[in-house]
Amino acid sequence: MFNDGLRVRQEAYEAGLPYVTDADLSARLTACKAAPERAWLADVSAVILQQSLADLNRAYRNFFASATGKRKGPKVAPPRFRSRKDRRQAIRFTANARFAVTAVGKLRLPKVGDVPVRWSRRLPSVPSSVTVILDAAGRYFASFVVETDSGPLPTAEPVVGIDLGLTHFAVLSDGRKIASPQFLRRAEKKLRRAQQALSRKQRGSRNRDKARVKVARAHARAADARRDFHHQLSAALIRDSQAVAVEDLAVKGLARTRLAKSVQDAGWRAFVRMLEYKARLHGREFHRIGRFVPTSQTCSACGVKDGPKPLHVRAWQCQRCGAWLDRDVNAAVNVAKAAGLAVSACGAQVRPGATPAQRNEAGTLPKSRQEVA
């Protein structure tokens, strides 16, 4: 349906005819459905076909809005043909399709039947639509649209600056250093092993196919674990802080070209996006610190700029005020200060020669390992 609709519009465009309206397109394709070679379209719910067209219409609207400058952000490309070989496949049922969750917790889908579901959480209200997704690893997901009542969170006092670093996933201006949790590191290790196993298999062999499926699954698990960690950490930070500041990653990218890993960069970007939308959702301030703020060159205690330091220098003493500074925490405090947030610099200070004491603080930031300097 999506491809048929796209073809109709492309042909109209190439023939110099006016844009085929949504209603016109729907009527034309309904007529096509009657053709004998399209009889199989009757095997699926009509709502799925309508929703495919709705997707196409939305893709066109986004494209036009982007082309005319009404839509901000990166340029949107015109809709492209879909393939049954696409790595991700999805269908959507709206309330009109009369899908339902049965008393025993199965998902009843029209013309599909009752599907067993492993629920990740209770639905907070009656869903208005459900999208069934098949991902690259061959797993099926049901994603519901529900209405929830997420008012602003209670007022929290502190403000927090966040430095996304190499030695830790994140370092906070209050001195906390957050490493990737065990479950994520385990998933990433398994992924690396699966990739190594794949590279040893002979091209075109059946074992190679099997190994490839294993890599896809390990990939999916690591991605899920990573997303889970990002959700937990961003939720905790937004809950506990009135304002959150983070450095623009474009800047970080420049500073770390040699050490940069694209996976890590993508992870940070996803994490920062979560922080941003959760802040908006819960009425918290969110700041992104722009270019040319030298967060690692400035003493967070007295503000003196004493120039860049090589990466192996993890702590130093400020030549002006004498404060001992931890590199990562100092940067996090500077991020908060650059956002105009009043934050204490003492988090950045370390005792000379002191090794950071480690202790667990389960409860504040679930499942993530914390070290307190």
Q: Using CB under 5 A as the criterion, which residues of the chain lie in contact with Zn ion when the complex forms?
A: 299, 301-302, 318, 320-321
Q: CA of 212: how far to CAs of 49, 225, 322, in Å?
A: 33, 20, 56
Q: Residue 361, Cα to own-chain centre: how many angstroms?
A: 25
262 φ, ψ (degrees, to nearest 5): -60, -35
Annotated catalytic residue, options 174, 247, 276, 326: 247
Asked whether the beta carbons of 28 and 5 are under 8 A apart, the reply is no
360: which DSSP letter?
Answer: -
Residue 323 Cβ vs Zn ion, minimum distance, rounded to whole Å: 5
247's enclosing H/E stretch is strand 243-247
Nearest to 230 by CA among 365, 359, 327: 365
**Bridge partners, 108 (sequence order):** 100, 114
At residue 36, the 3 state secondary structure works out as: helix
333-365: burial string, b at 16+ Cβ within 10 Å, e else: bbbbbbbebebbbebbbbeeeeeeeeeeeeeeb
Structure tokens at 1: 């349906």
Helix (H, G, I), strand (E, B) or coil at 82: coil
Q: Is 135 a catalytic residue?
A: no
Task: Find the shortest distance in angstroms from Cβ 299 to Zn ion.
Answer: 3
Report the nearest approach of Zn ion to the CB of residue 334 (Å): 12
4 catalytic per annotation: no
Which residue's CB is nearer to Zn ion, number 124 or number 308?
308
**Closer CB to Zn ion, 325 or 341, in the complex:** 325
* Least distance CB 357 / Zn ion (angstroms): 24
* 176: β partners: 372
Given 163, 174, 276, 326, the catalytic residue: 163
2 contacts: CB under 8 Å, gap ≥ 6: 52, 53, 55, 56, 81, 82
As to burial, measured by CB atoms within 10 angstroms (0-12 exposed, 13-18 middle, 19+ buried), residue 251 is: middle
Task: Tell me which amino acid residue 175 is.
Answer: G
Residue with smaller CB distance to Zn ion, 34 or 302: 302
Q: Is 328 designated active site?
A: yes
Which among 174, 276, 326, 328 is annotated as catalytic?
328
Rounded Cα gap, residues 225 and 203, in angstroms: 30
Nearer Cβ to Zn ion (65/302): 302
Q: Are 289 and 332 in contact (CB under 8 A)?
A: no
Give the residue numbers annotated as catalytic, written as ranges.
Answer: 163, 247, 328
